[in-house]
Amino acid sequence: MAMLTAFRTTTLPRFSSSIFASRLVSTLVVAEHEGGSIKGSSVSAVEAAKALGDGNSISVLLAGSGPSLQEAAAHAASCHPSISQVLVADSDKFTHSLAEPWAGLVHIVQQKGGYSHIIAAANSFGKNILPRAAALLDVSPITDVINIFGSSQFVRPIYAGNALCTVRYTGSSPCMLTIRSTSFPVPAVSANSRSNEAPISQVDLSTFGEDSVGKSRYVQHTSQDTERPDLGSARVVVTGGRGLKSAENFKMMEKLAEKLGAAVGATRAAVDAGFVPNDLQVGQTGKIVAPELYMAFGVSGAIQHIAGMRDSRVIVAVNKDSDAPIFQVADYGLVGDLFEVIPELLEKLPEKK
Ligand SMILES: Cc1cc2nc3c(=O)[nH]c(=O)nc-3n(C[C@H](O)[C@H](O)[C@H](O)COP(=O)(O)OP(=O)(O)OC[C@H]3O[C@@H](n4cnc5c(N)ncnc54)[C@H](O)[C@@H]3O)c2cc1C
- pLDDT tens-digit map of 265-313: 999 999 999 999 999 999 999 999 999 999 999 999 999 999 999 999 9
Q: How many CB atoms lie within 10 A of CB 214?
A: 11
- The reported pLDDT for the residue numbered 351 is 78
How many angstroms separate the alpha carbon of residue 267 from the centre of ligand 1? 6
pLDDT of 21 higher than 50: no
139 labeled binding residue: no
Domains and CATH numbers, the chain: 26-202 (3.40.50.620), 236-348 (3.40.50.1220)
Q: How many CB atoms lie within 10 A of CB 181?
A: 25
304 lines ligand 1 (CB under 6 A): yes
- pLDDT tens-digit map of 195-246: 678 999 999 999 998 887 788 888 987 666 567 888 988 999 999 999 999 9
How far, in Å, CA of 5 to CA of 26, rounded?
22
Q: How many CB atoms lie within 10 A of CB 325?
A: 17
pLDDT of 159 higher than 90: no
- pLDDT tens-digit map of 88-113: 999 999 999 999 999 999 999 999 99
- The reported pLDDT for the residue numbered 134 is 98
pLDDT of 162 higher than 90: no
- pLDDT tens-digit map of 174-187: 999 999 998 998 87
From 242, 250, 280, give the residue whose CB has the most ligand 1 atoms within 8 Å, as the site to mutate. 242
55 labeled binding residue: no
Using alpha carbons, select from 204, 198, 205 the residue that is nearest to residue 58.
198
**Ligand 1 atom index nearest CA of 308:** 8
- The reported pLDDT for the residue numbered 188 is 73
284 lines ligand 1 (CB under 6 A): yes
How far, in Å, CA of 316 to CA of 188, rounded?
27
The more confident residue out of 20 and 151 is 151
301 labeled binding residue: yes
Please give the share of the chain, as a percent, with pLDDT higher than 70: 90
Which residue's CA is the nearest one to ligand 1's atom 6?
304
85 labeled binding residue: no
- The reported pLDDT for the residue numbered 1 is 39
Angle (nearest 5°) at CA 318 between 317 and 322: 95
Angle (nearest 5°) at CA 154 between 164 and 236: 65
Could you tell me if 300 and 326 are in contact, meaning their C-beta atoms sit under 8 angstroms apart? yes
Three-class SS string for 128-197? Answer: HHHHHHHHHHCCCCEEEECEEECCCEEEEEECCCCEEEEEEECCCCCEEEEECHHHCCCCCCCCCCCCCC
How far, in Å, CA of 159 to CA of 62, rounded?
33
